[in-house]
Structure 1
Amino acid sequence: MERLKALGRVLPRVAVAVVAGGLLGYAFEPHDHPWLIVIAVPLFLAALNGASAKAGFLIGAGFGITYYAVLVPWLTVIGGDAAIALAILEGLFYAVFGMFATQVLKLKLWMLWIPCLWVATEYATASVPFGGFPWGRLAWAFSDSPLGKLASLVGIPGLSFAIALLGVLAYAVLRPKSALKLRVVALVAGVAIVGGSTLINLSSEGNGKVVKAAMVQGNVPGKGLEFLGRARTVTRNHLNATLDLEKKVEAGTELQPDIVIWPENSTDIDPFKDDETRADIEEAVKAVDVPILVGAVLEGPGPNERQTTGVVWDPKTGPGQIYAKRHPVPFGEYIPFRDQLLPYIKRLEMVGRQTAPGKVPGVLPIGGVTYGDVICFEVAYDDVVEDVMKGGAQILVVQTNNATYGGTGQPEQQFAITRMRAIETGRTVLIASTSGISGVVRPDGKVEHKSAQFVPDVYVATVPVRDAHTLATTLGGWPQWILTGLGILGVVLALFARRRRADTGSGTPPAPTHSREKVPV
């Protein structure tokens, strides 16, 4: 009976957390209401404050599962069970956050420890399992806000910290038991963070050299999963779009590009093994007479394996450098525990051969310019982007294929992530997609071109070649490691404080804290 009563006291808190999680999901594309975060985070903290650790786990789970259910409904294209499984898996990270946050909220410096713990949680979601899923980071919501410019200084983790801190400050202002002095300090700090971000000046100037790059979106004959069965048509679409580009160049209505970029999966048939596919690519390369970065699926390196690659195809020397995708998507491009799962989940047979990850960064010198190539979801992974920047990338390229998720909001989310990468790195990003969204993002995050979805689109951009590094790329992973370490330290201090209270409070009531009455489970 006592357990039922305790559960009854916790359920209203879970309900508040569910509302907060839903609001947070609506902060991101395609809804694009980023400032809902300043409501969602305080609501979540209000639900956690005063709860026990066990209750915090349930409250955090309600928040996290709802958050991801609203954020990534596009996974229902693969299957409703896939969307539910991902929401539960990622939600459990926030269940752990909730469990620890109930104790961290009792510390004097809780306003520092909580946003650090949030960054640590995002780091965990971006790392495990199977290489992580870094899609739910707070920073991604602010690509179109002055606050997003902070990413050029402190990177994506630092921006997530600043956003979580704003939520914490809003909670401090709104919390009924907050002292007037604390409310004033929190309000001033929040205004300083937001106001200060508007003063950041992002430069788009290069080193004096420019490149004319053409992004080719050939389009696909279908959407959802069925487009994968029409590989030759997809390749031919990109050939025809490239031939049309060359006709415009000859007519003087379009600039002659220095490089042409085809998207991921512009050919799903290995051009090194299939003569017809190779002939299509070589026809396109000879027509434009400049290198084409081809998105090709290659057979190997092992039996029943494949690799998703970017292949530099030169009009004179033919195929040359190859970048193989380093972060293939689990259950989309390869199946973990394949032998164990296939007998029970027949749908996984659609994945086909296992995609083997590449081993080296996508640093591609082409025509005297160094390009940093990342493929599709890789743009959300810090290590992939950091490695190409360390390799001297002067321009970033994202080859992507969003045809499976067209019209679901996923392409818009990925485009917003790409914009944040442009701000963080201070590099122009050239995006080529099979079916959209293709485009050009300037080093300050401004969009020069953004294609529609499921239409052919060819765009030639003149973009600066840049050598200068932002403070964020100079610092590299340090902000994330420091903030994550501080988050863990906050948890350790909270657990020690809890132990002290238990040791000294035997037979006497615990000393009052800023938290409301503890709710046992």
Structure 2
Amino acid sequence: MDKLLRPALAAASGALVYFSYAPHSLWYLGIAGIALFWCALAPWPSGWPSARPGARFGALLGFLHALALYLALLPWVGEFVGAAPYIALAVFLALYSLPVGVFGVLLARRPLGFVAFPLVYLAWEFLRSRLPFGGFPWVCLAWGQIDGPLRHLAAWGGPALVGVATVLTACGFAALIASRRPTRRAAAAACALVPTAFGLAAGAAAPGPGENTGEVRAAAIQGNVPRMGLDFNAQRRAVLANHVNETVALAESGERPDFVVWPENSSDVNPFTDSAAAQLISQAVEAIGAPVVVGTITRDEVGARNTMVVFDPETGPGEYHHKKYLQPFGEYMPMRDFFRHFSSYVDMAGDFKPGAGSGLVHAGAVPLGLATCYEVAVDAAYRTAVDAGARILATPTNNATFGFTDMTYQQMAMSRMRAIETDRAVIVAATSGSSAMILPDGSVTQKTGIFEPAALVETLPLRDTLTPAVRFGALIEWLLVAGGAGAMLWSLVHNRGGYAARRNQAAGEPAGNATS
């Protein structure tokens, strides 16, 4: 019976974890889901037909857990290209959890394996977030904890530490329920409770308003996009006109922000080659009388760039950020000729070239760190900008293609986590929603609806602190991953002895001839 029950539990665990992500944001279900996953991997009472699952069965359980999660989390990927590519992505990402299940069942056989399993979970999440083609960090477990107490740990070790703490808490609760030995129950209780205690303590110790080094009046423009009835070129010009109109209307309302952030692709017409586009942007900048950070498409000797450019009312176009971390299969197509054999959608992918630099620009006198759309999921993007001197951050994004799906809310959760991680306010400017103003503690003070033109204006703090995550986050993650690698090696060594004992017993030899 458990050969059916375990896979059902593994799939159910992935479904539970899905509900921890935005827009549901039921963070405690992320912990409950991982706890259920650990129960699916762990040995059961001896009366069950296969009370001790093998490594191959563990691989299946890991795959089912991840597949259920990603099928629920990523339907927005298929909004533009159809169901087949989205399902293929979910299946591919789930393959990374095959070894998670294998090493999970091996560790579950050890008395304190639940302490090591979080590091193994992170190690494979680390690989999935980087390989191949830069990986896919969008599905990291930590994003689902943005409304829970563990989110405060982001300032100390980034999403990696939040993810490890989530799995450790979950496994601790599962082991606490299942264990009967006092020493093991004590260790399980510590794993279940200590991460949350540290999270609450980190939140209580977070910098307050007194840590601000100044304030800035910032604006985010959501111009909205036409949803039907226009050809491609007319659509691009209409989007630009919408952002110009919203900016002019903001100026006419009497607001005078220190700078304005437009979304990614707010001017898909290159203003450096199109005089009409340049004139429209100049009109908006002159009306508002402040620097406007404009998302556009530029081209240089390397190729096309996804670019954010600062347009100043006095000096014109100035500093810029070429998007550095591009989304594979969207903004560029790796191995295009090869994948063309499998899908005609391949040629719909862009051919953008990655930029370089820190992501820091100056909007007037304000050092502003930029992470354009997908970049917010990449740890290095905002950390590099803050290390270079950014005192406030912005996530300009174009999510119009994904309609009313969860994508925009999932991305906002990442911006909120980055605010906590870096101790910076974050401005989210989206073409079609949801745009937001986020304080350094991750709280959202204003946000827009989807497909609603709007202008958000708020006085936000400037800060120059460098959190442990900014200073040492990459090192902390590498150490945790190294711990995961060590845990996997340890599980292999210790389970070889157990395998030898079972083999000898089957051959009629004394079990004592093998060590465990």
User: Given that residues 438 and 451 in structure 1 are in contact (C-alpha distance below 8 angstroms), is that contact kept between their aligned partners in structure 2?
Assistant: yes
Matched, 1:278 2:278: yes
1:226/1:120 CA distance change after superposition, 3 Å? farther
User: Given that residues 224 and 404 in structure 1 are in contact (C-alpha distance below 8 angstroms), is that contact kept between their aligned partners in structure 2?
Assistant: no
Give the match for residue 214 of structure 1: 219
User: Given that residues 224 and 406 in structure 1 are in contact (C-alpha distance below 8 angstroms), is that contact kept between their aligned partners in structure 2?
Assistant: no
1:153 to partner: Cα distance: 2.0
1:207 to partner: Cα distance: 4.1
User: Given that residues 236 and 269 in structure 2 are in contact (C-alpha distance below 8 angstroms), is that contact kept between their aligned partners in structure 1?
Assistant: yes
Partner of 1:331, secondary structure, is coil
1:37 to partner: Cα distance: 2.0
Give the match for residue 195 of structure 2: 193
Match of 2:181 among 173, 179, 182: 179
User: Given that residues 311 and 318 in structure 2 are in contact (C-alpha distance below 8 angstroms), is that contact kept between their aligned partners in structure 1?
Assistant: yes
Structure 1: distance between partners of 2:262 and 2:352 = 20
Higher RCO structure, 1 or 2 (CA under 8 Å, sep 6+): 1
User: Given that residues 111 and 184 in structure 2 are in contact (C-alpha distance below 8 angstroms), is that contact kept between their aligned partners in structure 1?
Assistant: no
Give the match for residue 366 of structure 2: 369
1:474 to partner: Cα distance: 2.4
Give the match for residue 309 of structure 1: 307
Moved more, 404-413 or 189-198: 189-198
Structure 1: distance between partners of 2:218 and 2:232 = 27
Q: Equivalent residues in 2 for 1:30-429 (5 A)?
A: 30-49=23-42, 50-77=52-79, 78-175=81-178, 177-199=179-201, 200-201=203-204, 202-205=206-209, 206-222=211-227, 230-249=235-254, 254=255, 256-302=256-302, 305-342=303-340, 344-351=342-349, 353-429=350-426
Q: Which amino acid aligns with 2:292?
A: I
Partner deviation per Cα, 1:392-423 (whole Å, 9 max, x = no partner): 11111111011111311111111111101101
Structure 1: distance between partners of 2:198 and 2:229 = 43
1:382/1:507 CA distance change after superposition, 3 Å? same
1:34 to partner: Cα distance: 1.2
User: Given that residues 172 and 178 in structure 1 are in contact (C-alpha distance below 8 angstroms), is that contact kept between their aligned partners in structure 2?
Assistant: no
User: Given that residues 204 and 443 in structure 1 are in contact (C-alpha distance below 8 angstroms), is that contact kept between their aligned partners in structure 2?
Assistant: no
Structure 2: distance between partners of 1:476 and 1:153 = 7
1:38 to partner: Cα distance: 2.5
1:227/1:197 CA distance change after superposition, 3 Å? farther
User: Given that residues 301 and 356 in structure 1 are in contact (C-alpha distance below 8 angstroms), is that contact kept between their aligned partners in structure 2?
Assistant: no
Identify unmatched segments of 5+ residues in structure 2.
Answer: 43-51
Q: Which amino acid aligns with 2:334?
A: P
1:185/1:101 CA distance change after superposition, 3 Å? closer
Match of 1:12 among 5, 9, 15: 5
Match of 2:487 among 486, 490, 494: 490
Partner of 1:497, secondary structure, is helix
1:485 to partner: Cα distance: 0.4
Partner of 2:61, secondary structure, is helix
Q: Which amino acid aligns with 1:203?
A: P
Structure 2: distance between partners of 1:121 and 1:307 = 31
1:497/1:465 CA distance change after superposition, 3 Å? same
1:228/1:477 CA distance change after superposition, 3 Å? farther
Structure 2: distance between partners of 1:472 and 1:224 = 47
Identify unmatched segments of 5+ residues in structure 1.
Answer: 1-7, 516-521
Structure 2: distance between partners of 1:272 and 1:118 = 47
Structure 2: distance between partners of 1:181 and 1:245 = 64
Identity %: 35
1:350 to partner: Cα distance: 2.6
Q: Which amino acid aligns with 2:67?
A: I
Moved more, 9-18 or 96-105: 9-18
> RMSD of the TM alignment (CA)?
2.2
Give the match for residue 47 of structure 2: none
1:174 to partner: Cα distance: 1.9
Partner of 1:354, secondary structure, is coil
User: Given that residues 147 and 198 in structure 1 are in contact (C-alpha distance below 8 angstroms), is that contact kept between their aligned partners in structure 2?
Assistant: yes
Structure 1: distance between partners of 2:230 and 2:7 = 36
1:168 to partner: Cα distance: 0.7
1:99/1:227 CA distance change after superposition, 3 Å? farther
Match of 1:480 among 477, 480, 493: 477
Partner of 2:185, secondary structure, is helix
Matched, 1:457 2:454: yes
User: Given that residues 375 and 398 in structure 1 are in contact (C-alpha distance below 8 angstroms), is that contact kept between their aligned partners in structure 2?
Assistant: yes
Structure 1: distance between partners of 2:226 and 2:208 = 37
1:192 to partner: Cα distance: 3.6
Partner of 1:219, secondary structure, is coil
Partner deviation per Cα, 1:334-366 (whole Å, 9 max, x = no partner): 111112333552223333x40111122211123
Partner deviation per Cα, 1:141-191 (whole Å, 9 max, x = no partner): 12222321121222211111111101110110122x542442244235423
1:435 to partner: Cα distance: 0.6
Structure 2: distance between partners of 1:367 and 1:29 = 34
Structure 2: distance between partners of 1:89 and 1:226 = 35
Structure 1: distance between partners of 2:348 and 2:473 = 38
Partner deviation per Cα, 1:305-326 (whole Å, 9 max, x = no partner): 4111100111122111121111
Moved more, 311-320 or 486-495: 311-320
Q: Which amino acid aligns with 2:150?
A: L
Q: Which amino acid aligns with 2:475?
A: W
Structure 1: distance between partners of 2:336 and 2:190 = 54
Partner of 2:96, secondary structure, is helix
User: Given that residues 437 and 452 in structure 1 are in contact (C-alpha distance below 8 angstroms), is that contact kept between their aligned partners in structure 2?
Assistant: yes
Match of 2:434 among 437, 444, 464: 437
1:218/1:40 CA distance change after superposition, 3 Å? same
Moved more, 362-371 or 341-350: 341-350
1:181/1:107 CA distance change after superposition, 3 Å? closer
Moved more, 161-170 or 355-364: 355-364
1:386/1:244 CA distance change after superposition, 3 Å? same
Moved more, 227-236 or 180-189: 180-189
Match of 1:446 among 443, 455, 460: 443
Structure 2: distance between partners of 1:75 and 1:224 = 23
User: Given that residues 224 and 403 in structure 1 are in contact (C-alpha distance below 8 angstroms), is that contact kept between their aligned partners in structure 2?
Assistant: no
**Paired positions, count:** 496
1:344/1:162 CA distance change after superposition, 3 Å? closer
1:286/1:480 CA distance change after superposition, 3 Å? same
TM-score normalised per structure 2: 0.91
